[in-house]
Amino acid sequence: MTTKHYFKIHSGARAHLKKRGEIRKALRVGKLNIIIMVILIIFYLAIFVLLIASLWKIFTKANKPGWACLIPIYNYIVMLEIIGKPWWWLLLFFIPIVNIVFGIWATNLLSKSFGKTEGFTVGLLLFSIIFIPILGLGSAQYVGPAGAKQD
């Protein structure tokens, strides 16, 4: 074995070790990403459970079954009953642009149904994660559809 050949093998081993180091570094970064992802999933699930519990309480405060908040489409029908609007409003939520207007209107009627003001409506629209639990888990009482048409 010549000296020249020995250095070729040696430099190849060095390249292999360098590659193994990069793999280990990549695995460390991968583990960190997994840990971050698991933490984010737990955080997301906690918010999801909080919002479901809040909606459940909103429905029960309005004397509707709490489980109704879990059923897609039916939850909108029940919500329309809570705010005192007919079921066919549900169809308006499928029309582009119109759905935005009626969604904001329905949110305003929901806040009024619990004795809240338009300021609370803005909070529900912009910071739902905070204001839905305030409405459901807080001291707000259901006063009737859209505030029972406050005289």
pLDDT tens per residue, range 60-100: 999 999 999 999 999 999 999 999 999 999 999 999 999 99
Model confidence at 108, pLDDT cuts 50, 70, 90, reads very high
In whole numbers, what is the pLDDT of the chain averaged over residues?
84
Cα angle: 115, vertex 119, 120; to 5 degrees: 50
Nearest to 148 by CA among 84, 78, 76, 87: 84
pTM (predicted TM-score): 0.74
- CB of 112 closer than 8 Å to CB of 38: no
Across the range 92-116, mean pLDDT stands at 92
